[in-house]
Copies of this chain bind each other. A is one copy, B any other.
Amino acid sequence: MREVAVVGIGSTPTGELWDQGLRDLAADAARAALQDAGLETVDALYVANAFGASISTQSHLAPLIADYAGLRGIEAIGIEAADASGGAALRTGYLAVASGLVETVMVLGVEKSTDMIGAARVRARAVSLDSDDEALHGATLSALAALLMRRYMYEYELELSAFEGFSINAHANGAKFAGAMYRNILKPGSFARAPMIADPVSLFDGAPDADGAAAVILTSHARAADLVPQPVRLVGSGAATDSLALAERDDPLWLGAIERSTAAALAMAGITRDQIDLFELHDSFTIMAALALEAAGFAERGEGWKLATDASIGLTGDLPIATFGGLKSRGNPVGATGLYQAVEAVMQLRGTAGANQVAQAQIALIQSVGGVGSSAFTHVLAL
């Protein structure tokens, strides 16, 4: 198995980008990544997208995007795992380069979440839940997160305010980053005043749907050193799943896919949790951040929320998360989110994160999660 490195990154700002289509956003990110790597082309393109068919009436995206990115004709494949599509595609690209059969791969995520509004978008997004057991009965991802959050609050006797530290941290970081979707500061007490989406999940709790595209270019570590002064190595990759339907799980408050994919990635990288300098986790809802910290082994069960109550998760804390605003403030371009995490982690390790820099970052953990923990892809990047 060959060692793999990231030699190029590119991304668009996130937001409601109504002037740009899927192909435009994707081409922008692709060109930026090629320029960053100093490459004219790549051998393969893996495209992560969650709602092309249901929101944008466009599937078979991979050849389309290859063409619009100036790469017509290369190998191109679409990868889907709901909001974990980006992480799934990163793993697919990693395996392709590691095999020795594909020299250089662009892994690109793109989403146009905001081309539908209101109930139409809610229905279009619900295709990624269990259609028979969840979506048919009116469940949405926000509603499932609300069920998890309420159960967690009950089990551990918590108030709503226990969670708001995650959103406050995300917005504090996003406010410093020009590419973020919502750069406003949130203050303590915000959750108590926020409009409810699905009680107890509020507008200030759930991450906003966004449009955007992000790409990384992978190649063998041997070749990477010739291309760029500072290749970032991809040293660990783990993948796992759980039932698609939340109700099928014996223990809904334990996200087993996150536990197992994290353990696999860390074991492969040969590192321990205390070596990790930052953790880009899937903060689609604050409850998902709390549960991810527990399942990934950074907090005891029932105590993930505590990390958000002091400076632990801040840029200067023990375990910085959402360093560019995370899903909550930077925005959640669903299928592309896992690639934004990868781009941001590479910027941290290169030391080019500007106002969002984590000092002396050497090792980053990134984690892409689909639904309420049905899919989880975890990667370790290191200098």
B60 touches A129 (CB 8 A): yes
A312 on interface, CB distance cutoff 8 Å: no
Nearest to A257 among chain B residues (CB) is B73
- Bound Cα distance from A256 to B75, whole angstroms: 12
The segment from A31-39, A51-59, A288-296, A318-326 that touches chain B is A51-59
Q: Is the interface of A mostly helix, strand, loop or mixed?
A: mixed
| Chain multiplicity (copies) | 2
Which single residue of chain B is at the shortest CB-CB distance from A58?
B131
Q: How large is the interface on A (under 10, 10 to 19, 20 to 34, 35 or more residues)?
A: 35 or more
B60 touches A81 (CB 8 A): yes
Nearest chain B residue, comparing its CB with the CB of A85: B78
- CB-based contact A59/B53 at 8 Å: yes
Can you spell out 7 A-B residue pairs with CB atoms less than 8 angstroms apart? A44-B239, A60-B374, A64-B374, A73-B241, A77-B91, A78-B81, A99-B100
Cβ contact within 8 Å between A56 and B131: yes
* Among A56, A64, A92, A128: residue with most chain B CB under 10 A: A64
Nearest to A97 among chain B residues (CB) is: B99
- In chain B, what residue has the closest Cβ to A55? B53
Q: List chain A positions with a Cβ less than 8 A from chain B.
A: 1, 21, 23, 44, 50-54, 56-64, 66-67, 72-82, 88, 91-92, 95-96, 98-102, 126-132, 135, 237, 239-244, 248, 256-257, 260, 370-371, 374-375
Cα(A58)–Cα(B126), bound, Å: 8
A82, A131, A240 — which one has the most chain B CB atoms within 10 A of its CB? A131
Contact (Cβ within 8 A) B375 A60: yes
